[in-house]
Structure 1
Amino acid sequence: MTATGTIRYWAAARSAAGTDEDAYEAETLAQALDAARARHAERPEFARVLLRCAFLVDGSPVGTRDHATVKLVTGGTVEVLPPFAGG
């Protein structure tokens, strides 16, 4: 079943997307990210930034898991976290 929720972009991901957040309608993280890439196709830097990002799904790190295996839930949140420097 397709879930709906929010994708939140931080730092360079926010800049590349040109927005703070998008809605998702997807079953998996991979589907949600594919839809986000399509939604922001006119902003090629967005797809490049996503390649370097870490993701939290409902507060849990995705880590190295295959995004196609990460299930999303209705009312959930995906945090898109680009690498950053500092302490």
Structure 2
Amino acid sequence: MTVTVRYWAAIRAAAGVADEQVEAATLADLLTEIRSRHADSDRFSDVLDICSILVSEVPVGAREPADVTLADGDVVELLPPFAGG
């Protein structure tokens, strides 16, 4: 399945890109792939660990990533905690 990963705020800065295409059947596969792609970033993995994740606008929450299946065309959004005012 080809899905789009969208990075927001600090995870975007750590990745160095706003979005990218990833081939993955589950969220666990996707997380493994993007960790590999951005292994040269000092902060990527640490920021990823604290991100909220949405798959096609549905929060993943505490579900096990291996149990979250992805469909072709899904959009996975990675949202680190951020403050605003």
TM over 0.5, yes or no? yes
SS at match of 1:55: strand
Give 1:5 shift. Answer: 1.3
Alignment match of 1:68 (pick from 58, 66, 70): 66
Mapping of residues 52-63 of structure 1, within 5 Å: 52-63=50-61
What code does the residue aligned with 2:28 have? A
Match of 2:79 in 1: 81
The within-5 A match list for 1:6-85 is 6-85=4-83
Task: Supply the distance in 2 between the matched residues of 1:31 and 1:42 (Cα, whole angstroms).
Answer: 19
TM-score, normalised via structure 2 length? 0.96
Q: Distance in 2 between matches of 1:28 and 1:36?
A: 13
Equivalent residue letter for 2:63: R
- The residue identity in structure 2 corresponding to 1:53 is C
* Structure 1: runs of 5 or more not aligned: none
Percentage identity across paired residues of the two chains: 52
**Matched residues in 1 for 2:47 and 2:15: separation?**
9
Q: What amino acid maps onto 1:14 in structure 2?
A: R
Q: Quote the Cα distance in structure 2 between the aligned partners of 1:86 and 1:43.
A: 25
CA positional deviation for 1:18: 0.5
Q: Which residue identity is paired with 2:72?
A: T
SS of residue matched to 1:52:
coil
